[in-house]
Amino acid sequence: MRAGRGNGYVEFVAAGGEAKDSVAQGPSWREMIFARQLLHVLGRTDEMPREDRLSVLMPIIEQAAQRWCDAWVEAPDSDTGRELAPLCRALNAALVTALKRRKRIDPDSRSRLHVFLTQADAAIVARADVDASAPWPGGIPRLKFPRGAPSRSTLKLEEAFLVLLDDAERARWLQPGMSAVDLGAAPGGWTWQLVRRSIRTIAIDNGPIDAALMDSGLVEHRRVDGFRFRPSRPVDWLVCDMVEQPRRIAELVARWLAERLCRRAIFNLKLPMKKRYDEVQLCLAIVRDALGADADLRAKQLYHDREEVTVFAAAERMR
């Protein structure tokens, strides 16, 4: 494993220095908690002339001898990477034009070309399996704060739905008329995401809920303790963004799922400053022990959750 403080990326070197033949043989990006994207390195260069970077990049790309569904030029999510954004856009356009000229773009290909700029004159050339990689540059869904949402926390749940669920799951599990409970709801950022999908929601919080949400007719506000509340009947969703020790949240959600009070849950774990991976694994184990081997658990540190890990949990995997 190679990483530098503040780099914004990590390189994994397989035993003997030999990487797997295909990223399809490795994990999916959805399985990695702290990584947003998964790429297989083809080559690298530290000597790109600024007047003609493609003259160095294209020979590396041609060695792969394959066609690509698309090509992305990216930079790490870091201070250095943000400074490279204009260069990424310009080089991306030139690269796609060059690939089309060489007939290397094929919309049916399941491989995508990535040029990852680490400096203005240095790059890693990589490929991604479309089925095992994030569908956004940098693995970051660029979301706009929706007009009418009562807080920016709404983006956390929107991103969670995009990252933790696939298209088919969102279509099946986020249908109008479903029911939900939002623990720690005030002022209603997560409730807003449910209401926009016409999901009836019980908002649990001693604080006030946004007036427009209450006027929607889809929200019932209960000023009670989120750790003590139980619904009178099972709901489709439990969502929880309460500020509390992560183990307490994991135990709470595990009880809801084990007692069949909800079918699925999305919740945030507010991570400690140290041993974050260990804490996440402990919390996932709490839920897994309560639900058994059939539990469906997915965890991700989202772009809009820099100090947290967001978890999807269901008592059973869909067959």
Residue-wise pLDDT tens digits, 119-156: 999 999 999 999 999 999 999 999 999 999 999 999 99
CA distances from 171 to 14, 37, 90 (A): 38, 24, 36
Alpha carbon distance 270, 280 (integer Å): 10
Residue-wise pLDDT tens digits, 40-96: 999 999 999 999 999 999 999 999 999 999 999 999 998 889 999 999 999 999 999
Q: Superfamily assignment of 154-314 in CATH?
A: Vaccinia Virus protein VP39 (3.40.50.150)
Catalytic site includes residue 144: no
Q: How many CB atoms lie within 10 A of CB 54?
A: 17
Residue-wise pLDDT tens digits, 158-184: 999 999 999 999 999 999 999 999 999
Model pTM score: 0.90
* Tokens at 113, concatenated: 């070309």
Residue type, 112: R
* Tokens at 195, concatenated: 């209401």
- In this prediction, residue 24 carries a pLDDT of 43
Beta bridge partner(s), residue 310: 268, 300
- In this prediction, residue 289 carries a pLDDT of 96
In terms of pLDDT, which residue wins out, 298 or 11? 298
Q: What are phi and psi of 301, to 5 degrees?
A: -85, 110
CA distances from 205 to 105, 182, 186, 210 (A): 52, 9, 6, 12
Angle between helices 54-62 and 85-101 (to 10 degrees): 50
Q: What are phi and psi of 55, to 5 degrees?
A: -65, -25
Residue given tokens 């780099």 in the structure block: 7
Alpha carbon distance 294, 316 (integer Å): 5
Q: Are 120 and 88 in contact (CB under 8 A)?
A: no
CA distances from 226 to 221, 240, 241, 248 (A): 12, 9, 11, 12
* Domain map (residue ranges) of the chain: 2-133, 154-314
Q: Are 216 and 173 in contact (CB under 8 A)?
A: no
* Tokens at 283, concatenated: 């919390």
Residue given tokens 């990049």 in the structure block: 57
Alpha carbon distance 209, 93 (integer Å): 46
Task: Calculate what percentage of the chain has a pLDDT beyond 70.
Answer: 95
Per-residue pLDDT band for 22 (boundaries 50, 70, 90) equals very low
Kindly name the residue from 20, 144, 270, 274 that is annotated as catalytic. 270
122-129 vs 40-45, strand pairing mode? antiparallel
Q: How many CB atoms lie within 10 A of CB 301?
A: 20
Beta bridge partner(s), residue 269: 309
Helix or strand or coil: residue 83?
A: helix
For domain 2-133, is the CATH number 3.30.2300.20? Answer: yes
Cβ within 8 Å of residue 288, ≥6 positions away: 295, 297
Helix or strand or coil: residue 40?
A: strand
Residue type, 310: T
- In this prediction, residue 70 carries a pLDDT of 97
User: Given a cut of 90, is residue 6 above it in pLDDT?
Assistant: no
In terms of pLDDT, which residue wins out, 275 or 223? 223
Residue-wise pLDDT tens digits, 177-201: 999 999 999 999 999 999 999 999 9
Cβ within 8 Å of residue 215, ≥6 positions away: none
Alpha carbon distance 125, 73 (integer Å): 9
